[in-house]
Structures are given as structure tokens and as C-alpha cells.
Amino acid sequence: MKTKHSNQTIADRLDNERRLQIKKNRDRLKPIIETIILCGRQGISLRGQNDSGQLEEDEPAENDGNFRAILRMRVRCGDEILREHLKLSSAGLTYLSPTIQNELIDTIGSNIQDQLVQKLNLAKCFSLLADETTDVSGVEQLSICVRYIDRMSNLREDFLGFVSMVRTTGEALANSIISFLKTKKVDTQYIRGQGFDGASAMSGIHLGVQKRICEALGKEAVYVHCSSHSLNLALSDSCSIPAIRNTLGTINEVINFVTKSAIRLNILKNTIHNKYSNAPSSYKLLKYCETRFIQRHESVFRFVELFECVVNTLGIIEVDGDAKSASKANMYLKAIMESTFIVAMFVLEEILSSTAKVSKYFQDPQCDLAAALNYIDTCVLCLNDWRLNASINFAKRYKKAEAVTLQNDLQISTPGIAARQKNRSNILAANPEEYFRMNVYIPFLDHILMNLKERFDKHRNIITGLQGVVPKYMKDDCSFHEILSLYEADMSESRNAVEVEIKMWMNTWKNVAKDEKPGNALSAYIECNEIMFPNVKKLLKILATIPVSTCTPERSFSTLRRLKTYLRNSTSQNRLNGLALMSVHREVNISSDLILDSFANKKCRRLNIIL
């Protein structure tokens, strides 16, 4: 009687047995890898008070961490392969130790980075985004991200990792960025843009990061100051007008006063519920953010919306609160019932409504610089219209302010005017409406218009030529001389041939209705036929890739704060990066077999898992 091994040699049988053993070993480690990926994806900590030794199926007296708890649950749910592995393996072969965790986390993080870098290098055009922050343990963390168009014509902004910094000079930051990119095998010859904030170490034209990267990697890597940051600075400078500045400060103080006490917050909630019976429990005042103006927009809008409730809340606290709270409530109540505050509050609501959507749009990774500047132009046109028709537009806001004062048995009055007033506007007026229009509304509009023009002129200069290849912004007199000189290495033909190609591209869209023309670089890039217009397509790719804001690095800081907390402040840099990459890039597929292959090659493993 023949057996299945009858025709096999001893060597073949041994080889089969070895393959079966390796497969079994790999199957035993896959639940461990999957559990680490689960914890990384969900951003939860792995380790506990005591996570060493054998893993028992019974609950331990001490918390041994989420990682071991999930493995224990898998065993209870019927994972027989894992049960056998934990039961039969000695303490040194369970592969559950913190050291093994770190190695696996690092391997998974490297695998994610490799996949991202592969997509990035295929794009052959990318921009660098970077920003820095201090983590909970006092370490300066530099977040490095990239912006590019992938093979599916999607505009992406991907986080690549954190780099810990000892010094934050322009030289140290630039060297760290270049070293990181080269270590991760990013093809730096294709860098076409840099997006940073306006800090001198990053943006300096002589010793800043942007200058050093241009010198090291090529002049084509043009620097763009973060548009969100520029808009924040424009609004912050405009809000330096005394009446507006004081109103924002008072709003901030009142919000903090009400929300920092559970008792006072409960009074506000009851007041809101009495006025808006269907309001959700989360409907309350929004905290004011000093650094992010988009949150200031929302904070001011909500304050105006709940103004009556705030007045009633402060009135209740003034009567029923303790001595300290009552005196503060009285002070804040008087402050928000002043004529200047009420008028300035409604002026703020109107003017910030024109910039709120622009601020949100800048945070979208799909936004390109040409479209961003178009939105700024639209905003400026709106503000200019309000400025030209200041009397009509201000009258609407003034009526709202009058309605609020009348509701509270008050009347809008002009502040006392001294003969030699030095500390506030002193333009004489026939009535309160004219006074506030001349001293608050018009100066605020003028400041915003001036700041928006000043802050975004530099952005406009960067894409003066490039913007001309977007069908919606095409002009017959547009010059492409400078951009063709700058991106000469990207062009596949001579300059004359490229100029002819651009003319043909412009003629293609000449008779198309304006509403049907692509209005941003990405949509134009998708519409562009690469066979007919290869150089135009390259220019559109560069324009779409040029950074708009550094919102993606800033979002990575939110991940950093979730991962490196007060209780997890000793996390090593490799472990932090691996966990951050798993948390941020949930869409990236992680193959357990590839992780095992990389893991097996790192060190000599006692458990044979190499196929």
C-alpha cells in the first residue's frame, strides 16, 4: 500500500516538514501583529502596569495593558492557534515582550512609509510641508508631510513621520528634513514646493529652511507661506482696532468665566433650554482659540446667537452666585451691555462671515493655490462692496444692535469725546449710528482689505505665470517666460515648442463657456490630454502640487497629543512614529506576511518564520 510520501526523498519530506513548521510559526505570530495594528489604528496604548511574563487566560490582578487584554479576549473567543502558541511557547518565545512590540511597531511603520514613498516617487512631483511643536515630554517634534498627485489623479497630502529636534535653527531643521527624506528614499530631485509657517527659522530668505533647501535640492522648490496662517495674521492685525480688540477680549473673558465652572455652565444650559426647547445638550458657547482664527469665527458666531442667554445667565449669577462670582458677573454684564460692545459684536459677525468659509476652504487638501487666491479675491470684492456701500450695510447691523439694546431697556449712545482724545477714534458725528460707522465699521473694513492685499500679494507673485494655464484664468497677454525658465528641467521640449503647446491649449478652451472651464489646477490637470499637451500637463501638476497651507502637519499634532500623553511620555521616537503612521494612514493596507518577512530579517529569530 502506497502512502502520500512514497515517491518523496528524505530531503523532500524534511523540506515539506520545514515549510509546514514555518507556516505554523507564521500563523502563530499573525494574531500578535493584527492586535498591534488594531491598537495602532485606534490610537490606544498597548502597555499596562505589568506586561511581562506568560499570558494567562484568567484576568490578572493588575492591569497588564490593552495589547495583552485583546489577546486574552481572542483566546476566549476561540482563536485556537493563539491559544496553542501561548500554551506551548516558553517565556522567551511568546513574542509579547515590549521589545518585540517596538520592533513590530517599527516594522509596520516602515512598511506604511515605504508604500507612501513609492506612490510619491511615481508622481515625480511633490511639495514638502513641515511644522514643529513641543510634545508633552518637552521634546521638539518636527512633522514632515508631502503633497502630490497620485496615479489615480487624486491630490494627496500624506504624513511621513516625526523627527525629534535638539536645535531649531534653520540649518538644523533643514539638515534634519533633507536627511529624513533621503533616509526614506524619497527622490528629492522632484521637489517643487515648500510650505511652512512664517517663523524666521523656516521662512528666512538668507538662513531659513526654505533657502537652505533651495540651495541643496534645487531652486524649483518654491516657498509658500501657509495661506491659513497668512489669513490668520491678516485678521489678527485688523482686529487691533481698539473697539474690535476690546470686544474680542471681552467675548473671550465671558466665555471662560461661564464655561470654567460647572455650576455657571449648568445655569447657561438651563437658560438655553428655556429659550430653545429643542436645542441639543452640546449646544453651548464655544471656547475662543488664540492661534486658530477659524475657531474664533465659530466662537463669535455662537456668542452672538446666544447673546440673550448669556445676558440672562450673567444676571442669574449676579443675584444668586457667591460673592466673587456675583461681582465678576456684574462686571461682565456691564461690559457686554455697553453700546460700543454691542455694535462692534454685530460688525464682527458680518465681516467674519465673509472670511469664515475661506478659512475652512484653505484646510482642504484638495485646494490649490490658484483657487485659494480666487476665493481671496471673491472675499475682497465682497468687502469692497460693503466699503463702497458702508451707510446701507452698516445700517442693517446697527438696527440689530438697537433691537438688542431696546430689549434690555437701554439705548445706544456715543462714548464721551474729549477735546484732545488720544487713545481711541475721535471723529465727530451727528448721531451714534454715524459715529460707529465712521469710527468702527469703516476702519475695520479698511484694515482687513489692506491686510488681505498685503499678505496675499506674495502668493500671487508665486503663481503669476502658472495660473495662466488654468482655463478659467487664461489671458491673451499672460507671459510664461519666467515659469519656463524656472521649470526648464521639467519640460520635454524646447521653450519655443512649449510656448506653441500652451497657445494650442489656450485655443482649445477659447470658445468654451466660462462656467464650463476648469477653475482649479487639479480639474484642469484631469482634463488635459497628456499626449497632446505633455508640458502643459506637467505645469498643471506643479501648480496643483504647490502647497496652500500647513494644515496636514498641524493635524498630525492632534495625533501626537493623543499618542504621547502624560501617562505615555517616555514613548521612544520609533515607537511614536510607527503608532502615528498607523493612526493617520488607516487607508493603507498592511500585509501581515510582508511584516513577518521584514521582521524575520531584522535579527536572528529563535522561531523560524523565513519562507
Band of residue 48 on the pLDDT scale cut at 50, 70, 90 = confident
Q: 426: which 3 cell numbers?
A: 475721535
When computed from its CA atoms, the radius of gyration of the chain, rounded to whole angstroms, is 31
CB atoms within 10 A of CB 553: 24
Q: Where are the domains of the chain?
A: 15-103+590-602, 114-226+548-572, 232-454, 466-545
Strands 155-165 and 222-225 turn out to be unpaired
The domain over range 114-226+548-572 is classified in CATH as 3.40.50:
no
pLDDT in tens, 359-373: 888 888 888 998 899
State the average pLDDT over residues 579-601.
92
pLDDT in tens, 476-496: 878 888 899 999 999 999 999
pLDDT at position 36 over 70: yes
pLDDT in tens, 77-136: 999 999 999 888 887 788 998 999 999 999 999 999 999 999 999 999 999 999 999 999
Q: What is the pLDDT of residue 12?
A: 61
Strands 126-134 and 191-196 turn out to be parallel
Band of residue 605 on the pLDDT scale cut at 50, 70, 90 = low
State the average pLDDT over residues 508-529.
91
Q: What is the pLDDT of residue 280?
A: 75
Distance set, CA 436 to CA 99, 131, 420, 506 (Å): 67, 41, 19, 50
Q: What is the pLDDT of residue 422?
A: 58
pLDDT in tens, 211-231: 999 999 999 999 999 998 899
Q: What is the pLDDT of residue 482?
A: 87
State the average pLDDT over residues 440-462.
92
- Nearest Cα to 247, choosing from 379, 171, 353, 348? 348
Is 138 in a helix, a strand, or coil? Answer: coil
Q: What is the pLDDT of residue 606?
A: 64
**CA separation for the pair 497, 503 (Å, rounded):** 10
Strands 155-165 and 140-149 turn out to be antiparallel
Q: What is the pLDDT of residue 1?
A: 44
Lowest-pLDDT range, 52-61, 254-263, 453-462, 523-532?
Answer: 52-61
pLDDT in tens, 396-428: 999 999 999 998 888 888 876 655 655 556 667
Band of residue 347 on the pLDDT scale cut at 50, 70, 90 = very high
Distance set, CA 599 to CA 63, 583, 608 (Å): 28, 20, 11
**CA separation for the pair 175, 173 (Å, rounded):** 6
State the average pLDDT over residues 534-545.
95
Q: What is the pLDDT of residue 433?
A: 92
pLDDT at position 148 over 50: yes
Helix, strand, coil percentages, rounded to 5, for the chain? 60, 5, 30
Q: What is the pLDDT of residue 2?
A: 46
pTM: 0.89
Mean pLDDT of the chain: 89
**CA separation for the pair 351, 300 (Å, rounded):** 11
State the average pLDDT over residues 570-591.
94
